[in-house]
Structure 1
């Protein structure tokens, strides 16, 4: 007989007690009634969960990083060639008697609107030193007046050259190649981008402006197979507005030339060339922070001469070859250097001394009638040695084209 206060045993518990093989039974969790949320609240909660997801945050950060691009280099060169940059100064001279004019007035003189393109044209004229700002007005410079209203036979050409040597990037590239033939297009473009920081997408534009401007200033010789830049010299005539750009013989010397790097000098030993080693070649090589070596007492001791020449050429980082007089020994050593794929800086007093199949390599030409040719040649050799080390493709004989 059972009392009303006693509870009946649960079926699950009773079975487990009588059957030891039965699996333990987990008590059921109590069911809690949840009040349903409105549809809008569910959506908001879902959005919060997605936004808080680590994967979601990572994706947003990664996308942000991909979206940010490094700024491209800013073009410093004038965006118009020298001839086109004379248009505004000429209009002010012709229509305002050369008196300073406001930009609005200058635009009216040319019957054009004062637009962004007009502002760029003003900037180009200023970079050539043809215009300057005075009290909010545009003033024609003396340089522009010498070009447009010359008062002597040399006024115009000297002022045009001054303008080229004043323009950013244009003057730097001219000083780098003056007295030399321009390299092949690929190497020229690489040099413009790597050495002079011309933006890659502006190289074609710069080349056109550069060539048109130096042509206007009669600083280009196009009579031969390759374009050659006329060297107006550091002394007399037009002067560079500043020292040549320190891309090679100054700035790059300390940072990019290996310690104990050497330059093997190949030259004739007949007079007067034998003396050039101490007066020109050695100072130029040392200015580039390299150790000069040549095929004489510098490396010769006992033993076979050509074995030592071979070792000297093979161990050199760069070589310098004086091609004037077409010396047989120089050309023999040059052939070994080319066979080894060594960068070689070529120099010559005459273009006729350089074989046709070597003219695709950069050659330094010098003029001994110039009273300052020695100091200019030292500067050019030092600059070209560093350029050959940093950009060896410009100074290596391309055997695949033979």
Structure 2
């Protein structure tokens, strides 16, 4: 039996060095993050806090952190959020002792002079991250491949470190999902990249107004208002012709359960929308079981809810002291009256949310036991 040939020790050492270098090259350890750890929607919290809490003027990191719910400006979660906001071009300034101010992209999103300006600024923020822009160009008009192949392409062709590639995919796809409705593009397919997310003519390079598909709205507002109501022919008409314009007039983007297209549990999607919406609207007509279940989630989340009903008897007795709009379709101009009242009540609920939250949830809202 022939003896095995021994591999020289120096060859083993050389092989280990090659393997170590290859592993280090595909790892992000010790390297700065070149793309945001947070989604665009999450990062907008920074720009919105500056606009809402300080009229758009620069803020000290300590004050900004408290406005966002962080007790210490050195909190790593707050610092990650600040850095992400900077990488999107929303704000300038990072670090525990920094003064953070709005940049032009951030200002155009949180305080635009038109909905078109906001739409374009959101796209600009997304493309401000070089890696996102390159991947968008590469896959424009195509479906994203399965995770394994997408990950390999990102590592090999775009130099995304292997240990950061999942974060990249999560943030990239979340951003596409968030931006598409503002550009009038279908959000049903989460696994595809549109040819252009800003309506740009790829041949001329000019930006054209986005065109929504039939029965699909172009999103205009950052804040959403989740609508809890029955489905059906007449209710669908009430939603499209009365509630949608009224909610937008109040400065919110209307969202209803049947407009959610993401995969996963329906209850989780509803809970997500409840949590995101500063104010909600519930039509209690007919005492629909699904509506009351969603209403329970809203109260558990301590969210202000404006109620409508065609019959006061459909409103539980212990909720009638809250903001309730009773409409009668037999009255002249009932639809216009309902629309105006919904707009007014939503605006008031945003200013004084506690008046639309029942006890004991109102006390929880104020931090009382």
Q: Do both share a fold (TM > 0.5)?
A: no
State TM-score, norm by structure 1.
Answer: 0.40
Rg larger in structure:
1
State TM-score, norm by structure 2.
Answer: 0.43
